[in-house]
Amino acid sequence: MEKNNEKVKKSIKREIFEWVMVFVVAAAMAFVVRTFIFEPVRVDGSSMLDTLTDGEYMIATKFDYIFGEPERFDIVICNYPNTNDGMYRVKRIIGMPGDIVQLLGGQLYINGEHMEQNFDMHSMTENFGPYTVPEDHYFVLGDNRNNSKDSRAAMVGPLSRDEIRGHVRAVVFPFGHFRLMKD
């Protein structure tokens, strides 16, 4: 009988150990997926209207920028400098390193050339710039340019490459709003 008791104790200990290992492996896999592959992100606010609306959930891929560089008009998740709130911001890359960015009457000019912006955005008539984007930095704007704290704001400015965390690929929730993002 004592041998059976030892077996039961060992099997309970083994069962607990196996469950702990399942949770450790699951947590490690979730960490790897969120850090290197993709991350779900919730839109908070109106700075990306009409492209993205408050409360939508998106999937942002991370591997794109591990092996490559952001491109003009990519919608990205990013960390803002001098903030420790743990929140990502969602913006559109407008200026690449070394570009001269200017807004005249709401029209975008890059290096003196008018750029078509073939995406939904709120019209704007303000002027900005010209502004030269520093090397290794990116100039980001919200699509709702009248209501967006972005690279035009002194507290934000251009973003360094390491502040850009992922490339928004799709809106996945609410389910009726599912769509792939086009750059």
Residues recognised as catalytic: 47, 91
Return d(Cα 163, Cα 64) in angstroms, integer. 14
Residue 15 falls in which region: left (phi positive, over 0), alpha (psi -120 to 50) or beta: alpha
Estimate to the nearest angstrom the gap between the alpha carbon of 48 and the chain centroid: 12
Q: Work out whether the CA dihedral 127, 129, 130, 131 comes out positive or negative.
A: negative
Task: Return all residues near 147 (Cβ < 8 A) that are at least 6 apart.
Answer: 46, 47, 49, 122
- Polymer length of the chain: 183
